[in-house]
Amino acid sequence: MFRRKAHSHKSAARFLFHHWGSPVEIESITKCITASYSFLLLLRFDLPQSAMSLGYAEKLSYIEDVGNVGMTEIYDPPHILQEKIERLTMMIRKSKHLVVFTGAGISTSCGIPDFRGPTGIWTLQRGGNALPEASLPFHRAMPSRTHMALVELERAGILKFVISQNIDGLHLRSGIPREKLSELHGNSFMEKCTSCGIEYFRDFEIESVGLKETPRRCSNADCDVKLKDTVLDWEDALPYEEMNPAEVHCEKADVVLCLGTSLQITPACNLPLKCLHGGGKVVIVNLQKTPKDKKASLVIHGFVDEVIGGVMDLLNLRIRPFVRIDLLQTIFTQAMSLDQRYVNWTLRIASAHDKRALIPFIKSVEVSFSDHTMKEAVLDKHPFQLKRRTVWKIEPFDVILKVNFSEGCGCACSRIKIPIDFHVSRDDLTRDKDHVFGKLKSKAIKSSSCGHNSVIERKMLTSPKTEVIIRAIVTNVRWYDEITVKTSGAGSLSKCSLKRRKEGKNETEAARKLPKGQYRHN
């Protein structure tokens, strides 16, 4: 576990007393801190560490000056924090064009470390300290309360655009439409065709940074060129297709809300100030001072999740659960033996993104059969593949897969049944992906569990005879409420969580098409 160092309640109170020169007695402040202490622990101190920033920092080219790091964190006293939350809520209510500008601070509660905080990656590196061991796979990080609140604000028509400096892909995973998002520094899970512009959002981290070629090619038959990663290295310029809409929306904005960013990296840090020329206002929510504080109409020193959670309560907007759906494909290939008595067949469980890619959410696959005379098998390493020979005259049977999930998933496994009949050919099948995703999410929320799966596409090939089926599987469900964040498989839900789940049990979160160029979740 990677934890930020927590002061005792009284020492924290003394810090507040000394910093603000408040006349409030230390014991009074201590009571306020104690009242919200469990909430703060949940948000910041009790989450597993993700490998994201560790791997990203190591991939970047070496640079001596990464800006100010290790700056002191500041916490507004509870009563002042509440007053500021109310002011921010009023500004959002009155806003006609709200833009949100995000940094690493909105993802620390997801288990992803920041860079410049007291225990940030670059802070540790500058001090010659070892980086922490990662216990949460980067690809399994889930959106925070803030990520999901932004989705609700966008759906309500309040939030017009999001500009992110983060590369963790959590804005897209949470449900922010691609056309309403600029990822200035790229996305660790996105690769792009520079010929036709199609973007591919993967379930695995792309191998490189610096806009380099990846091992995969564009699936567009007219292109077939190698894809490139989208994450910038230090020397790379901000891409026009991300920077231009960001500038346009900042110029239109009447409020630019900066969340969890030190506003040090140029030219991105100057974007929020563009709203000032048209009479707009800048609001900064960050635990450290920033170079832009003097330009802001409101500066809030508090945990981003606590601030945005308070705003959502005052706006009477509920944050719906996050449901993660991953894809896999099963490939069943068969061929007759030379004597026409046997069928040689192969079953492969592969990534829907690329047949050669690892499937990061699968640990192993147990294979059994409805015909109990057939020998069971355990596939525990990539590629997950089983080869068998079966007599041609055998009756139809089912292959039953128990797909065991890897660390970070919300449940242990999912079960898949594949009917096999050597004597009958099935037709191709294509279902609406958004509809399938919507039904799976509704089912996951209603049952408060994951592991549900459904077929999206079936394709029959003739030479050799092959059936390829792409399936969608629910691998995580997370609920958000005022006090707790609960994940399926992580324990029982609070009464509040249960109430909210029942209220929203028929709601769906249809996956959205993202037409910036084009976008594919495969």
Residue type, 77: P
Catalytic residue among 185, 249, 301, 521: 185
- Write down the pLDDT at residue 63: 56
| pLDDT surpasses 90 at 500 | no
In angstroms, the CA 44 to CA 187 distance is: 24
Which pLDDT score is estimated for 319?
Answer: 95
Query: According to the model, what pLDDT value does residue 142 have?
Result: 92
pTM of this structure: 0.81
Which H, E and C letters describe 372-424, residue by residue? CCCCCEEECCCCEEEEEEEECCCCCEEEEEEEEECCCCCCCEEEEEEEECCCC
Computed on alpha carbons and rounded to an integer, the radius of gyration of the chain in Å comes to: 25
Q: What is the pLDDT of residues 394-436, one digit of tens each?
A: 899 999 999 999 988 999 999 999 999 998 889 999 999 999 9
Strand order in the sheet with 190-192: 213-217, 226-229, 190-192, 198-201, 518-520
What's the rounded Cα separation, in Å, for the pair 199 and 517?
A: 7
Question: What does the DSSP 8-state code read for residue 47?
Answer: S
Q: In 38-164, which ranges are E strands?
A: 98-102, 159-164
Whether the pLDDT of residue 60 is over 60: the answer is no
Closest CA to 199 of 242, 234, 157: 242
pLDDT band at 31 (very low <50, low <70, confident <90, very high): very low
pLDDT band at residue 133, thresholds of 50, 70 and 90?
low
| Nearest alpha-carbon partner for 116 in 265, 278, 274, 311 | 265
Residue pLDDT, tens place only, 172-217? 999 999 999 999 999 999 999 999 999 999 999 999 989 999 999 9
pLDDT tens digits, one per residue of 348-357: 999 999 888 9
Nearest to 88 by CA among 301, 320, 251: 301
Cβ neighbours for 422, distance < 8 A, ≥ 6 positions apart: 334, 343, 390, 392, 394
Helix (H, G, I), strand (E, B) or coil at 221: coil
Tokens of 459: 């394709």
Pairing assessment for the beta strands 226-229 and 255-259 based on DSSP bridges: unpaired
- pLDDT, residue 120, reads 57
Neighbour count for residue 247 (Cβ, 10 Å): 15
pLDDT at position 110, please? Answer: 85
More confident: 250 or 24: 250
Strand locations in 236-317, DSSP E? Answer: 255-259, 281-285, 298-300
Active site residue 97: no
3-state secondary structure of 517: coil
What does the pLDDT read at residue 55? 53
